[in-house]
Structures are given as C-alpha cells and as structure tokens.
Amino acid sequence: MRRRLPTILILGCFLALVAASYGRALFRGEQFAYRDAAHFYYPLYQRVQAEWGAGRWPLWEPEENGGMPLLGNPTAAVLYPGKVLYALFRYDWGARLYVVAHTALAFAGMLMLLRSWGTSVTGSSLGALSYAFGGPILFQYCNIIFLVGAAWLPFGIRAVDRWLRFGRRSALIELAVVLAMQTLGGDPETAYLTGLCAGGYAVGLAWRRGHPTAPPVPAWRLALTLGAAVTVWVVATIELALHLPPLRPRLRPGYPALAFSWMSWAPLAIAAVWGCSGLCLLARWRRRGRSPLGVMLAGLAGSAALAGTLAAAQLLPAMEFTGQSARAAEDGTHDIYPFSLEPIRLAEFVWPNVFGTHFAGNRSWLSAIPPKTSHADVWVPSLYLGGLTIVLALGAAGFRGGPPWRGWLTAIALVSLLASLGEYASPLWWARWSPDLAARLGPHDPHDVGAIRIDGQLRDGDGGIYWVLATLVPGFRQFRFPSKLLTFTALAVSVLGGLGWDRLASGSSRRPARLAAVLLALTLSAAAAAEAWRPRILQAFAASGDLGSPFGPLDPAGAFADLRFALVQGAVILLVVLVLALRRCRDGWASALAPALLTADLALANTHFVLTVPQRELDAKPEVVRLIEEAERKDPASGPYRVHRMPIWTPSSWVRESSPDRIRQFVAWERDTIQPKYGLLWGVHYTQTLGVAELYDHSWFFGGFLRALEPPLARFLHANPGQRVVVYPRRGFDMWNSRYFVIPADPHGWRDEERGYVSFLEHTEPIYPDPRKFSGPDGQERQKEWLECQ
C-alpha cells in the first residue's frame, strides 16, 4: 500500500485541479466561453462535424468570404485523430471532453518526460501539475489548437532527447508522430519550434561531446562578451533605424510608405543561406566521415519529413491557402507584434494575479501603470506556474554541470521568454522613450498601426529577438503573437522545477533557500508598502477610471484587494518553500506536502480563469438571424444574398458599467449579433469575416481607408468638412450582393475601422430597431439608452 501512496497522491492532486478547473463544464453541463472558445472554435468545429455527419469530407465551407477551405484551414483540424471524441459523443460533450482530454495529455506527457530523465515521483508530479495547470497552458482552453500543441510538446521533447542522447531510432518515429499530431491539431507553429529546439540541442550536444575536457569560461569573460554583444546590437539597431526609413519607396509624396524593395527577395535569400549551410555541413560530413552532429541532424530531418508525410493531406492545402493570405505578403496587413508580453508582467511568475483580475468585474490595474497608452493586449491573464515551481526552477537553472538537458531547458526558457516580449525586447522601443532620440527615430507605434508604419519609420519591435526569429528563420514570419512562445517557457520552467526538487532533496543546492528568502523579503516589503500607501494607491486607481474595459470601469477597491491577496498568497507560499528548502526535504512528509501545496496554490491562482456559460446560450437561434428571417418573409430576396457583420465591437455602456455576469452577456451578445462564426450553422453567408487567415486580395478589396469628408456628407453626419473618416468600398459590397449590414449603433467618430459604417448608410433602410420605436416625447432618451446598451 505504501508503494501506491505516491501514485494515489499524484492522481488525487490531478483530479482535484481538474474538478476545480472544469467542474462547471463536467458536472453542471456548461460550455466553455470567452474569446475564441465560443465565437470561433465552437461553431467552426460544429461546421466540420456537420460535414462529416452529412457523409461528406469537410473540404469547403461557402459561408465566409465567398468560400473558405475547411481542410486547408489549419485551425479546423479536420484530420486530427483526437477529434474522434466529437464522433463518439454528442457535440456539446465532445467540446468539453476535447479540452479536458488535452489537459490530461499535457499532464501525462510532462510526467513521462520527467520520469524518463530519472526525476523522482515528487519532482515529476510538481513539473506535471505546474505545466498542465499553470496560467500559460490552462488558459488555452479558449484557444484550443494551442492547448493541443502544448499537450503533445512534452512527448516531442522526450523523443528528441531519446534520439540525440541515446540514438534510439524508435524515437524518430515517436517524434514524427508528435509533430504530425501538433500539425493536424492546428498548431504547426509549436511543431516548427519543437524542431528548432531539437536542432539547437543537437548542436549543443555535439559541441559538448567534441570538447569533453574544455575548461569552463571565466564568469568575467562571459559577462564582458555578453556586454559587448548587447552594445553592438543596440547601436546597430538604432543606426539602422536612423538610416533605413528614407530608403522606403512611396507611390507619391504624402502617401503611406511601402515595403523595402528588397523585402520580396529576403525570404528566398535567407532560405538560400540556410540551404548552402546545410550543403556545407553535408560536404564536411562526407570528407571527415560520419560526424555525430551530421547523424543527429539527418535523423531529425528524416523525422520531420515523415511527419510532413503523415500530415500532408491537411498540411499541403493549408500551406497553399496561407501562401495566398496576408500572412505571406511582405507589404500586407499581417502584424507579428500583437500580444507582446509586457516586461512588468514577469512579476506574475512570483505573485499570482498581482495586477488584478479581469472577469468578475474589472479589477485589473495593469492599464493604470504609466505610460497608459503603451499597454499590449493580454494573451494569457496570468503567467503563474506556482511559487514552489518558480523557486525550484531558478535554483536548478544553469549551463554548467548536471545533465545535458538542464542547459538545453535553461536555454529554451531564456530564449522563449525574451522572444515572447516581442516589441518590448527591441532597443527601439526603449530608445523612443528619450525625447531626443524619438525626434530622430520617430515616436512609438500608434495604437492602430499596421505591418508598415504610415510615416515609414521602423516598428517598435524591429531589431528585437522576435524580429530576428521572424526575419532569419524561414517561414516563421507567417506566425504571429510573441506570447505564444510562453508555452515553451512554461515547459522549460516546469521541467527545471522538477529537477530543482531532486537537487534540493539531495542537499546539492542551497540556491532555492536563498531565493525563497530574498523573494519572501521582497514580498513582505511590498505588502507593507502597499498597506502604508493604501490611500494613495486607491486614489491613483480611482484617477484611472477612464481606462475601462468591456468588463466595466476599474474597481479601485477590488484591484487593491487582488493586489493584497496576491502578496499574501505569495508570502505564505514562499514561507513554506523556505521551510522546505531549509529542511532539505529529507523527511517523507515533505514529498507529500509539496504536491498538495502546489495543488492548492494553483487552484487559488488559476482555476477561475476557465470561464463557462450555460449550454443554452450557444444553442439558441441568434437574434439577427431571426430578424433577417422575418424581413425575408415580408420582402423576399430575388436570389442568394450575403450579410456583412462589421468586426468586433461591444456595447459602449459596458465600459462604464460592470457586471458579475459579463461573460454570459459577452456570449449572448456576440451570438445574437452573429459575430463570425456564429452564423455558419444558420445559413448565414458573410461578405467578409476576419479570422486566422484571409485571402490577401479579398482583404484589400473590402478593406477600409481614411478619406476626407465633403461638406454635404459632413452636414449629414454632424461632422466637420475635411474630417477624415473610414470609408469602405460600398460598390464592392453591392457587387457581392450584401443585402444586410449588421453595424454598431455608435460610430465612435467614424474613424474606427470596426465601427465606421458611413459607407453603408446610402440606399439602406433600418429594419432593427424600428425607427418608430423612439417616437414620442421621451423618444430621444429611449434611443440614447438603447444605443448605449445594445
């Protein structure tokens, strides 16, 4: 029985976190909501299953943009074997189990990875719990393809290590299957990055084997070399930013700048350099006989080729489609920097939700931190992997000594974290805070910036680490969102945390105790300062009331309560970690306490991020569909027609009024207004939708541009003559027989591309709301209330 206790404990901790995270979905019949979980993947996967149910291969869906591929849409995951769950269960249950199953797969994969490296049962369980239920992975329930990629990632890392260190050929088959599963599941980026990590590991192992007795480089020399490299990087980036913008071509003076003339050749040139490097390596291999590096890389290349063959039926159509999208255009709308990770958010690794929470009212005060206009969109609401894990990981990280995979995982953690900073890791972003440099380099990127700035200056993120990856790694530029690399950070930190536990238990490292003591002192100091300055902090929060979100205005008292709770929780966890570190975890009770402590820590910090709504909210007929059907009964169209629903917007009153039920309101409102893709199963054909990838020509054909108002139209809009407003090509919409327009009530000054509907006013008549609804003496007040709430 005693032998089974560790297994029972691990299983109990896992099931406790599953229940805490997914209990409302599994036991109350609710469905996952928020972001893409509700309005994108739920209807898209339902559309795919409808094709299978009708006895057809899901190749094409005609409802969007004049027709869009299903098989060629990587996010549809048409051929992914894991979607058999949708065939075995009713669709709503398939959607729930699909998420839970991949969380379980992530947990099991990390457990197997750490056990394969000889990590203890306790250390392995700590790493597995941190990875599967840490903020960066758990929150991907609402972006399911990235949860799929993360779930398979530990298996891929295990297969890479088994091949490169032990030469086991079966590992190449295992790696090929993992890469194929990630690709078929909709996340080719994670598969691609797994391959890059494998290549780096091969180079590191080959160097280590070729220099077994190389003396360690002195720390001062490393610091001097690193400092010199950073200096050269910073100076070179700023100099290029000063001299490159004038070289941009323009159609005519005053028009937006275009891409550099050599950009169309850059991908080919970079691919040629990589190809020549490979040929040189091959030639050297043949001259000197079989080198370890050549064998390792050849095996990895063969495994990647096999993975491509296994996924080819879905991969090739997807490559063809995305190759014609804005992602592949050097001067297109594809922007690689959204969802960059703000450096200040690194504090979330230590203090859970220290900047407040978003969903039960707006208690997030991150936007109140100066400068208020430079905050990025949030990819995951928390980076927290557990206080115990981060201390152990920092204690175990390093490149000298230990198993070779320790240095590999340390490098993955550092590179992926720095790359996830996106634009914030570029010298340009930092340099532009200097008024003198900004006068020469240009100001920071405007909020609505495109891939190329209108003034021709370099982007804030150009020259940064993510830019280097996007520029020098073939194909990487078609990916986007730097924060997606946090998956690799979470994996590396979780693995190092498991290793750190074993090093602590063996008494070979005192670093965790020192780290825990320092972090505990910082936490207690921050808590004391927060309490001492509480009136000033509340006053500062209250002064930021204009920085509302769709969850309402900032709640100062709630934000401070979250700050206080984060510091208290962090202090308690760090105190326990310090006690464990000082006792060196040699007692049996410590091996039981550590997983239980981590489970409670993660449950308090992260499980409330899994948001659900009653299933009926996703099953009801959308209100706009009902209104269109009613209008068609009165005045039927003479033929097929399309509906244009303007991009994402929310009722303006939400910014001013908070609600504890805002998530349900989000889903109900987006569904009622047929936010794409909610209309797919109700016969709605959209003129234009914006999703993962759209044809480049289609996007430009229907794109909006700023134009100056002429006096007659300015008087009609109660605007000023010459005022610049967003204008869409109305004739294009008419040519595509756009019969109905779903538009916001508030145009926000007509300059917002998501609200500027001036082009859709001519030759149209409102069907909802009925203008007669606002007649009478108090009609103006009722109309204002409706505009704000609807």
Q: What is the pLDDT of residues 415-459, one digit of tens each?
A: 999 999 999 999 999 999 999 999 999 899 887 777 788 888 888
Q: What is the predicted pLDDT for the residue at 386?
A: 95
Distances (CA, A) of 476 to 157, 339, 537, 669: 20, 16, 43, 36
How far is the C-alpha of 202 from the C-alpha of 343, rounded, in Å? 31
Q: Which residues pair with 61 in a beta bridge?
A: 68
Cα 197 to the center of its chain, rounded Å: 19
Contacting residues for 687 by C-beta, under 8 A, at least 6 apart: 65, 642, 643, 644, 702, 733, 736, 738
Query: What pairs with residue 686 in β-bridges?
Result: 64, 643
Query: Given a cut of 90, is residue 767 above it in pLDDT?
Result: no
**30 — phi, psi (to 5°)?**
-85, 165
Name the strand (E) or helix (H) holding 708: strand 705-708
- Residues 498-528: pLDDT tens digits? 999 999 888 777 888 999 999 999 999 999 9
* CA dist., res. 191 & res. 172, Å (int): 14
Contact 497, 390 (CB under 8 A): yes
CB-neighbour burial class of residue 460 (10 A; exposed 0-12, middle 13-18, buried 19+):
buried
Side chain identity, residue 470:
A
738-742/642-645 β-pairing: parallel
Beta-bridge mates of residue 64: 686
At residue 273 the predicted structure's pLDDT band, cuts being 50, 70 and 90, is: confident
Domain ranges of the chain: 621-789
| Cα angle 220-204-114, degrees, rounded to a multiple of 5 | 105
User: Which is more confidently placed, 108 or 329?
Assistant: 108
In the numeric block, which tokens belong to residue 373?
Answer: 């206009």
> DSSP state, 64?
B
Q: Tell me the per-residue pLDDT of 534-543, one tens digit each, with 9 for 90 and over.
A: 999 999 888 8
DSSP code of residue 254: T
Bridge-based pairing state of the strands 705-708 and 68-69: unpaired
Whether a cis peptide bond, with omega within 30° of 0, leads into 769 is yes
Distance CA(579)–CA(567), nearest Å, equals: 18
Contact indicator for 564, 351 with CB cutoff of 8 Å: no
The pLDDT tens digits of the residues spanning 43-77 come to 999 999 999 999 999 999 999 998 999 999 999 99
Cα torsion angle, 512, 165, 149, 425, sign: positive
> Tell me, what's the pLDDT at 307?
96
Q: Is the pLDDT reported for residue 297 higher than 70?
A: yes
pLDDT digits (tens, 9 = 90+) for 334-368: 688 889 999 999 999 999 999 999 888 889 988 88
Q: Is the pLDDT of residue 473 over 60?
A: yes
